[in-house]
A and B are shown apart, each in its own frame.
Chain A
Amino acid sequence: MHEMSLAENIRQIIEEAGCRQGFGRVRTVILEVGALAAVEPESLRFCFDLVMKDSIADGARLQIDSVPGQGQCLQCGKTVPVAALYDPCPCCGCYEVQATLGTGMRVRELEIE
């Protein structure tokens, strides 16, 4: 995925929150990123530092909390952990596992001064 676009979206979210809630500086940005969200954390960090320049989050620390992937097996019906979209069901071994969790990403919290 294109981490630069994501970093720009994060900046927009932070600036809008800053406007609404009236805070000046952001010290830490806490993201939740699903294990199946196709986001490369190292790449996102690289983009984050560049994109936050001259914003209220300039120099802010980025914390990325990973949300594990989860899916439902269409054969045995169980909810199972999913590390990759093509993983087989750990219970019955079939490949009909539909990812249900860990595909999204969001800005969860900001630490502000």
Chain B
Amino acid sequence: MCNVCGCGAGEARIEGQSLQPGHAGGGLMAYRRLRSRNERQHLPADSRWVAVGSPVAPSGEKPLGESEASLLPSAAPAGLIHYGQGAAGGEVPGMSQARMVRIEQDILGRNNVHAARNRAWLAVRGILALNLVSSPGSGKTSLLVRTIEALRTRIPLAVVEGDQQTSFDAERIRATGAPALQINTGKGCHLDARMVEQALEKLSPVEESVVLIENVGNLVCPAAFDLGEAAKVVVLSVTEGEDKPLKYPDMFAAARLMLLNKVDLLPYLSFDVDKALDFARRVNPGLEIICLSATTGSGFSAWLDWIEARRRETLALRHSAPLTCNLPSGPESHADRC
């Protein structure tokens, strides 16, 4: 696990080849991460986990306490470790002594509040916002540049760029003449709705325009954070593996459209297009898919048509139902706070 942010704790499910099955009864087994170099050297190099109570802990290492043990993953049969089936799943002792308060509040609720405000703000202005997500290097920025060049005479466009650092991408977009705003997330690995709210306020996109949001290159976290967009568009390039939809299913499940980019390189690669599309549809049966190349422009008309179709929907909604909303730039309501 990353000791800075706690992300990447590894794999919710690990193939069990380096584990030591058979120490615990009932087919269930608790493991703990080896804590010191001294401790690790007692096992093969690839062993990072050890069964609780196993004899490898050298002298001087304290045995695992009960509270610590409750944080550990348990291994189900067939060599799989499953986090979250440990003691923490049980009842809370002594609970009758204390007062219980039901909260029932969505953990992403605050983000969702901002996302809903963004969505209303965009809808009232007839602005179509698309959230482009992918791994780093899939060609999002090149795709945006070509998209802007193709559409800018017909549709006003603006871009919100998300990157951990630098404003290189926004500069590339501005070179096309389209307004662009760069968000640097610093240590963050995704854009959230509050960042986009502030970006929209600064960028002031014109009414009935299209706002393209290029999220941080990351196939994990941006899946969970609604920005208020009309749709997430996931970009997969053929220089990646065709199994990415299965390896990062949340992103492909959250997207409405998948763009398979860099198809001009297919003759030089062993990428199996049918397999990739099949895997993507396994994760998201309703996923729309367009194969294209931002370099040669092949398949681009289908993508441009898709944007125009979504824009027509946005405009139809604006003209059919008069909407009202508060500006996202207004001060946030603190009525529910003390």
Contact = CB atoms under 8 A, between A and B. Distances in A.
B6 A43 contact: yes
Interface in A56-113: 61-66, 74, 84-86, 88, 95-99, 104-113
A40 B110 CA distance: 20
Most chain-A CB neighbours within 10 Å: which of B83, B189, B192? B83
B104 interface: yes
Contact of A6 (B88, B108, B189): B108
Nearest to B67: A61
B62 interface: no
Interface string B100-139: 1111111111110000000000000000000000000000
A113 B110 CA distance: 26
B283 interface: yes
Interface string A1-33: 111111101101110110111010001101101
A64 B89 contact: yes
B19 to A, nearest CB: 16
Contact of B220 (A6, A38, A44, A97): A38
A17 B1 CA distance: 31
A1 B253 contact: no
Interface stretch (B91-99, B206-214, B264-272, B310-318): B91-99
Interface in B295-312: none
Contacts of A38: 220, 223-224, 250
Contacts of B281: 95-96
A20 B7 contact: no
Given A106-B106, A106-B107, A112 B98 contact: yes
B336 interface: yes
B338 A107 contact: no
Interface string B183-218: 000001110100000000000000000000000000
B103 A17 contact: yes
B111 A46 contact: no
B71 A45 contact: yes
A86 B282 contact: yes
B92 A30 contact: yes
Interface in B54-96: 71-73, 83-85, 88-89, 92, 95
A62 B72 CA distance: 13
B91 to A, nearest CB: 9
A1 to B, nearest CB: 5
Interface string B221-262: 101110000000000000000000110011011000000000
B338 A98 contact: no
B218 to A, nearest CB: 9
Nearest to B281: A95
B107 A6 contact: yes
B337 A2 contact: no
A63 B312 CA distance: 47
Given A4-B6, A12-B110, 10 more contacts: A2-B190, A3-B5, A5-B190, A13-B107, A43-B6, A43-B9, A47-B6, A88-B282, A96-B281, A111-B92
- 10 nearest interchain CB pairs? A43-B9, A95-B282, A85-B249, A96-B285, A19-B338, A47-B6, A41-B84, A46-B6, A2-B221, A40-B9
13 contacts: A1-B7, A1-B221, A2-B220, A3-B9, A4-B6, A28-B95, A42-B10, A50-B6, A74-B285, A95-B285, A104-B106, A106-B103, A107-B103
